[in-house]
A and B are shown apart, each in its own frame.
Chain A
């Protein structure tokens, strides 16, 4: 399968066309979901959508860009904190404030990239983590938004949020439920833009260059792919998207603290396991991964620590025995591709090579 797809110019398959139509129908349905489901289901869907966006961006970084960051919580944190700051200190309406959150994350990504790109591989990973810690410690000094203990969104801001009054009328719900619906819609828009945007990016010439950067930095440089520029683009875009998501998440939560907004477990560990278990380096993988995470969480969340132990163990297990994740196993068996893009050597080929060398 990898051999033929390696040389194919066509990207569409019949399944993928049918899938595309289903997807459009699904999105249209999703828009009207708030009218059909209970508030708790809507909150679950919101969780799934936001985690999916975070996972897609981390996958873009690590799976395609080869930038294994464990500091994405820096962007969730700064995005949500600037979002709160804009509302509380500057009186910005929460909906445009989301955009400010994304821009703040983008701005923070510049010095972080400048610093972390000096480090390679595993050191890049921990370098981004240190940056996230520094950001958290600085934000915890920001007294106007509650310092180390955090703060809540002012009642006025929640009431005056663009669209919330209209939603409350149309759906005949209270203001707090209207906030959930608004957050859900924002998350839905973000999911569609993210997946659409990443799919578009990967199908362009630049996207192909990305795979080259991941596979071999020097080779990519020598054939003229601007590897460094590509790394910057991917890092900044991911930071922006992650910051927007952070702002939307805290728009829904309406309460923030540094420890929660900069949580390594919530915004990086979960995301990482979603991508790895689902299948890294694919658009489909994170979608499957987030559903797995959600299922595990629904079944085991009451068991607290056991749930996290299970999650960690699953991640280890997948990495050891099925490094391409669930979606990788599915494509191996069926050749299915729902988001077809021309791909280079797949990981399974690399493993063969490794086996050859292992004897040495």
Chain B
């Protein structure tokens, strides 16, 4: 029974990793851009929420609603002034620019908030739990997992039910022909990054409420997110959920054996999946 409990905890942890990964997957799917600053933006988002909660005394869930449009605008502007200029066939420019961003964001946070660990406080929510019969789980992890599913459902709706979603897919297929349809591809990319930043903000809320954070932990979140995306297969949101869950379960199982093995077992699971299925579990044709 202890193993069932462990696996359930792992699945729920996977919900958090799925949230980390969804923004990355969205941006990659549309513009083939891997944002190396993605993890640092999550931490940045957590500090934005922290400021709203501690300085303005807002409820975390209200703070995240305020942070969302701000983060959307930030992503939009970032894409227009910087990232659109480096998208293209060459690999190096986007990697280096986002790597530079990663260093800048980390150190701006360090300068502004020091290296002290912080936490977004949500009173009783942090300790609340429910008994599912087979296992007792925290309300917060459950909420995280539910949010991950909700985010994916909403993104799927946007992608496959709206005119904007058609424009996303068309631009991803062929930007030149998309522009012949009157689609402003720069704008489409900026909206995509904006939406990714909204997802980043949601993941930042749960990251900050579940555990303490500091300016240096972004790169590790990027790696988990990246592993989930690759395991799932590029461009598949539901695949990303499966990838996130695999990493989560592997980490929790590893930690159950030896606490020092938690992170390592996640990486090992990733490497094993990739050796067996080089294109991930649910590869999309043409990607």
Number of interface residues of A (CB under 8 A): 43
| CA gap between A137 and B263 in the complex, in Å | 8
B255 in contact (CB, < 8 A): no
The contact size tier of chain B is 35 or more
Which residues from 68 to 104 on chain B have a C-beta closer than 8 Å to any C-beta of chain A?
82, 85-86, 88, 90-97, 99-104
- When the two chains form the complex, which single residue of B90, B99, B176 contacts A272, counting CB atoms closer than 8 Å? B99
Q: Which residue of B lies closest to A307 (CB)?
A: B107
Looking at B54-62, B149-157, B190-198, B223-231, the stretch in contact with chain A turns out to be B223-231
Q: Report yes or no: B95 in contact with A68, Cβ–Cβ below 8 A.
A: yes
A357 in contact (CB, < 8 A): yes
Chain A residues positioned under 8 Å from B95 (CB to CB): 68, 70, 122, 125
- Please give the distance in Å from B134's CB to the nearest CB on chain A: 31
Which residues from 299 to 320 on chain A have a C-beta closer than 8 Å to any C-beta of chain B?
305-306, 308-309, 311-313, 315-316, 319-320
Chain A residues positioned under 8 Å from B2 (CB to CB): none
Q: If A70-B99, A125-B34, A319-B93 touch, does A115 touch B275 (CB 8 Å cutoff)?
A: yes
Taking A122-B94, A126-B226, A319-B93 as known contacts, 19 extra A-B pairs with beta carbons closer than 8 A to each other, sorted by chain A number, are A70-B95, A118-B278, A125-B36, A125-B95, A129-B223, A134-B267, A137-B264, A269-B99, A272-B99, A305-B111, A312-B103, A315-B96, A315-B97, A315-B99, A315-B100, A316-B100, A320-B86, A354-B88, A360-B176
B131 in contact (CB, < 8 A): no
B256 in contact (CB, < 8 A): no
Q: Report yes or no: A305 in contact with B274, Cβ–Cβ below 8 A.
A: no
A292 in contact (CB, < 8 A): no
List B residues at the A interface (Cβ < 8 Å).
33-34, 36, 82, 85-86, 88, 90-97, 99-104, 106-108, 110-111, 175-176, 179, 219, 222-223, 226-227, 230, 260, 263-264, 267-268, 270-271, 274-275, 278
| CA gap between A264 and B268 in the complex, in Å | 20
Q: Which residue of A lies closest to B279 (CB)?
A: A118
Q: Report yes or no: A130 in contact with B86, Cβ–Cβ below 8 A.
A: no
Q: Which residue of A lies closest to B264 (CB)?
A: A137
A239 in contact (CB, < 8 A): no
Q: Report yes or no: A312 in contact with B274, Cβ–Cβ below 8 A.
A: no
| CA gap between A319 and B270 in the complex, in Å | 32
| CA gap between A63 and B264 in the complex, in Å | 31
Q: Report yes or no: A280 in contact with B92, Cβ–Cβ below 8 A.
A: yes
Chain A residues positioned under 8 Å from B271 (CB to CB): 115, 130, 134
In the assembled complex, 10 residue pairs joining A and B whose CB atoms fall closer than 8 Å, in A order, are A125-B91, A130-B223, A133-B267, A140-B260, A269-B99, A319-B93, A319-B96, A319-B100, A320-B82, A320-B86
Q: Report yes or no: A137 in contact with B267, Cβ–Cβ below 8 A.
A: yes
| CA gap between A323 and B263 in the complex, in Å | 36
| CA gap between A354 and B176 in the complex, in Å | 13
Q: Report yes or no: A130 in contact with B227, Cβ–Cβ below 8 A.
A: yes
List A residues at the B interface (Cβ < 8 Å).
62, 66, 68, 70, 115, 118-119, 121-123, 125-126, 129-130, 133-134, 137-138, 140-141, 264-265, 269, 272-273, 276, 280, 305-306, 308-309, 311-313, 315-316, 319-320, 323, 350, 354, 357, 360
- Please give the distance in Å from B144's CB to the nearest CB on chain A: 24
Chain B residues positioned under 8 Å from A264 (CB to CB): 219
- Please give the distance in Å from A54's CB to the nearest CB on chain B: 16
Chain A residues positioned under 8 Å from B102 (CB to CB): 312
Chain B residues positioned under 8 Å from A118 (CB to CB): 274, 278
| CA gap between A354 and B89 in the complex, in Å | 9
Q: Which residue of B lies closest to A313 (CB)?
A: B104
Q: Which residue of A lies closest to B112 (CB)?
A: A305
Q: Which 4 A-B pairs have the closest CB atoms?
A: A312-B103, A122-B34, A360-B176, A316-B100
- When the two chains form the complex, which single residue of B91, B99, B101 contacts A66, counting CB atoms closer than 8 Å? B91
| CA gap between A276 and B90 in the complex, in Å | 14
- When the two chains form the complex, which single residue of A280, A309, A323 contacts B103, counting CB atoms closer than 8 Å? A309
Q: Which residue of B lies closest to A70 (CB)?
A: B99
- Please give the distance in Å from B205's CB to the nearest CB on chain A: 25
- When the two chains form the complex, which single residue of A119, A126, A316, A360 contacts B97, counting CB atoms closer than 8 Å? A316
Q: Report yes or no: B100 in contact with A68, Cβ–Cβ below 8 A.
A: no
| CA gap between A265 and B216 in the complex, in Å | 11
Chain B residues positioned under 8 Å from A68 (CB to CB): 91-92, 95
- Please give the distance in Å from A277's CB to the nearest CB on chain B: 10
